[in-house]
Amino acid sequence: FERQDGRLQRQRLLVVANRLPVSAVRKGEDSWNLEVSVGGLVSALLGVNEFEANWIGWAGVNVTDEIGQRSLTEALAEKRCIPVFLDQELVHQYYNGYCNNILWPLFHYLPLPQEDRLATTRSFQSQFAAYKEANQMFADVVNEHYQEGDIVWCHDYHLMFLPKCLKEYNSEMKVGWFLHTPFPSSEIHRTLPSRSELLRAVLAADLVGFHTYDYARHFVSACTRILGLEGTPEGVEDQGQLTRVAAFPIGIDSDRFIRALELPAVKYHIKELQERFAGRKVMLGVDRLDMIKGIPQKILAFEKFLEENPDWRDKVVLLQIAVPTRTDVPEYQKLTCQVHEIVGRINGRFGTLTAVPIHHLDRSLDFPALCALYAVTDVALVTSLRDGMNLVSYEFVACQASKKGVLILSEFAGAAQSLGAGAILVNPWNITELASSIGYALTMSANEREKRHQHNFLHVTTHTSQEWAETFVSELNDTVVEAQLRTRH
Ligand code: G6P
């Protein structure tokens, strides 16, 4: 974009996501400690120089006083972040309730809550109302900061109502929406009481994106079967108006991981881990402690493997990093107890005075420690029961240039469609198959490991997060231009 004075100006991107990429901790009445978290989305947009990304989202803290809100807004502005303030009750109904107890499970093929149907129906309605209210609050903040020509990129299942709210403010806004989870089969989506309202709200966007072609197809089927609209190869058409629907598989900033392996801190951790687990093969799981990740299935398969292969009992260790998440939602609390119980039982059963088969950590690791763990791992286990993409599998591959370890990957993760040829694909519900895949992975020939790794490494280093962001945004620009041309003719 050229300015009037002839200088090039970067296009402004308003990235709207439930959570800002910064976590805020209050230090005093008007002082804040901000920590930037470099997740997939942040690194994707850092690498794209054509755009100037500004973030709009919830800061993850409850701030009700004016001084707090003003000082946090000022502090965040330095990081190009704009907060949306949600009060505690709204967070409870919208985030813990509708987002993480209804939409998240359903989109991962876990049915709607069944206990006490009446109570669920009542709370379902109030949670949906809170969801719409929260989405409207995000829209208000976007509208306040919007400048003509900006691109507004909405993210994930938290903000399905946002495209509609934004277009009601300004039908000229360029609006894209991307879903980071699977979009389920239309038969699953149709169980949702608010199924039609949500679909129509998303269709207000100019471009709707998913990780895989399957998810895009499920979305189009939901629109045709539930709303009776017409699906075309380009997307969904409603009275001559097209919403473009397409697949944009996300990636990682692979260079960041590859470069990290040269850092002294990472080398130090690598050496430490190698010494600690000398003589044993290292198997690794890194997941948020979420029911969709199939952590119990993974651990039970490891138990079966040890049960059937006594020779391996003192030669292999499973390191499971389980990052706590959404800890106010009862389902997540139950899962934590369940996982602890299984790990305790297995360690009691197969542990010795000097070693245990499973090291389970309920916390996240910092970046150097994580890279080191990826680098020393012989077999990574990604056993999601469903997963939009799963970037842990990509991060593991990026850190394995010298070791060429094996990736065991669930066929229900989006990543199975890109890393399937290099990984061992498994159905995580089939514990017997999973246990025998562990044996196969641990004894795989160096030649086969090399070939599989090369395939995945090439994919991970060429389909990066930067490329993903660029493709989505340029497709959104093109979609809007094409729509303008169509209305002119
Ligand atoms: C998934 C979602 C993201 C979300 C992340 C962490 O990856 O797709 O939108 O930010 O989980 O969950 P949380 O609830 O802590 O934001």
* C-alpha of residue 221 to centroid of ligand 1, in Å: 26
pLDDT at 2 over 80: no
CB 175 within 8 Å of CB 204: yes
What is the predicted pLDDT for the residue at 47? 67
Question: Which atom in ligand 1 lies closest to the alpha carbon of residue 158?
Answer: 9
Question: Which atom in ligand 1 lies closest to the alpha carbon of residue 180?
Answer: 8
Share of the chain above pLDDT 70, in %: 96
Lowest-confidence range among 2-6, 226-230, 241-245, 414-418?
2-6
Count of alpha carbons within 13 angstroms of residue 87, beta-carbon side? 5
What is the predicted pLDDT for the residue at 49? 72
pLDDT at 137 over 80: yes
pLDDT at 376 over 90: yes
pLDDT at 190 over 60: yes
What is the predicted pLDDT for the residue at 121? 61
pLDDT at 115 over 70: no
pLDDT at 8 over 70: no
Q: How far apart are CA 96 and CA 331, in angstroms?
A: 11
pLDDT at 253 over 60: yes
**For ligand 1, is residue 108 a contact (CB within 6 Å)?**
no
Mean pLDDT of 370-394: 97
What is the predicted pLDDT for the residue at 487? 80
Mean pLDDT of 177-199: 97
What is the predicted pLDDT for the residue at 337? 97
What is the predicted pLDDT for the residue at 123? 82
Distances (CA, A) of 348 to 158, 303, 320, 343, 351: 41, 11, 17, 8, 6
Q: What are phi and psi of 141, to 5 degrees?
A: -70, -40
Question: Which atom in ligand 1 lies closest to the alpha carbon of residue 99?
Answer: 14
Mean pLDDT of 306-318: 98
**For ligand 1, is residue 452 a contact (CB within 6 Å)?**
no
Lowest-confidence range among 123-132, 223-232, 343-352?
123-132
pLDDT at 446 over 60: yes
* C-alpha of residue 156 to centroid of ligand 1, in Å: 9
What is the predicted pLDDT for the residue at 93? 95
Mean pLDDT of 446-464: 98
**For ligand 1, is residue 19 a contact (CB within 6 Å)?**
yes
Cα of 171 vs its chain's centroid, Å = 29
Q: Which two tokens stand for residue 331?
A: 């389902």
What is the predicted pLDDT for the residue at 189? 98
* C-alpha of residue 19 to centroid of ligand 1, in Å: 8
DSSP 421-465: TTSEEE-TT-HHHHHHHHHHHHT--HHHHHHHHHHHHHHHHHS-H
CB 123 within 8 Å of CB 97: yes
What is the predicted pLDDT for the residue at 43? 72
* C-alpha of residue 157 to centroid of ligand 1, in Å: 10
Question: Which atom in ligand 1 lies closest to the alpha carbon of residue 39?
Answer: 10
Mean pLDDT of 104-114: 92
Share of the chain above pLDDT 90, in %: 88
* C-alpha of residue 470 to centroid of ligand 1, in Å: 22
What is the predicted pLDDT for the residue at 343? 98
Indicate the DSSP class of residue 2. B
CB 222 within 8 Å of CB 190: yes
Residue type (1 letter), 431: I
Q: So what's the ipTM on this one? A: 0.97
Q: Residue with the nearest Cα to atom 16 of ligand 1?
A: 19
At 117, the pLDDT band (50, 70, 90 cuts) reads very low
Mean pLDDT of 414-442: 98
**For ligand 1, is residue 181 a contact (CB within 6 Å)?**
yes
Q: Residue with the nearest Cα to atom 15 of ligand 1?
A: 325
Q: How many CB atoms neighbour CB 73 within 10 A? A: 15
* C-alpha of residue 181 to centroid of ligand 1, in Å: 9
Mean pLDDT of 32-58: 83
Question: Which atom in ligand 1 lies closest to the alpha carbon of residue 100?
Answer: 14
What is the predicted pLDDT for the residue at 45? 77
CA dihedral 185, 190, 193, 194 (to 10 degrees): 70
Mean pLDDT of the chain: 94
